[in-house]
Amino acid sequence: MSSFSRSLQRLFKMCGIPKTYGVLAAFILAAAFSFLVGCFSRNSDDVRVVRVVDGDTVDVDSGVTVRYIGIDTPETRRQTSAGWIATGDEDGEEAKKANEALVMGKKVRLEYDVQKKDKYSRTLAYVFVQEDKKETMVQTELLRRGLAFLYTLPPNVRYVDVFLAAQKEARKNKAGMWAHEFHVPSAQACNFLDQRKFVSGKVSGARRTDKMVSLEMDGLHVIVFTKDLGFFEKEGINPAQDYTGKRISVFGLIKSYRGSPEIIVSHPWQIEILDRP
């Protein structure tokens, strides 16, 4: 019997709880305590990176593929009907090279959040590496260099404020991809499918359902899913009301949905009102 179990039994005896019940309760509580300790101790793992897939994905020596939580980097390849092909995106290649320089062949610490796997069975983690005798989070470093975007996906949002600050620093310094000009009017969004752009235009209307808020612009739908509305509410923003009738700039990946261009927005930083008084 463990010392923890013996201590519990002594406590039960002092409280007048019968020995039979006390023994059983002690074992149950001890098992629960051990389980919780085990869960917390497994909140991080030390592994070695054996392959860098792209700017935000690596393979490690434990046999799993790790997708970095909280960021997204430009793609180096995309899937087509003919198979995977290179995108030719220079920013994507730069992000991959930076990721390789940071972690390839090195021991890293994986820290987990609420959700540990994504729909592709990749392990979701914050990745830390020893650099200049200090531990550096890889996500923050890629954001600071302007080689990644903040990408929030609840419930894994532990470091969202840290990531947002790093991205603001990169934008202010015009680091990496933020040095480029990629602003287009919403009416021309259809010409930039599968590309990330700042798209500007007037919000002519908004529609809210149980699943989302949809903002209508000339040539573009802007979608905010219900799971992400908490970020807007935290800043006192009601997307269905506060953007309607305003000229905005929205940043994101332009995709085609049912034949129409759309951008999915997961955080308020992606939308800026242009015609403020």
* Catalytic (active-site) positions: 67, 75, 122
Token representation of residue 158: 């532990």
Residue type, 21: Y
Token representation of residue 154: 């609840």
Query: 109 and 231 in contact (C-beta within 8 Å)?
Result: no
- Cα(23)–Cα(6) distance, integer angstroms: 9
- Cα(172)–Cα(232) distance, integer angstroms: 22
What are residue 134's DSSP bridge partners? 131
- Cα(242)–Cα(236) distance, integer angstroms: 10
Query: 261 and 190 in contact (C-beta within 8 Å)?
Result: yes
Residue type, 143: L
Helix axes 19-41, 3-14, angle to 10 degrees: 140
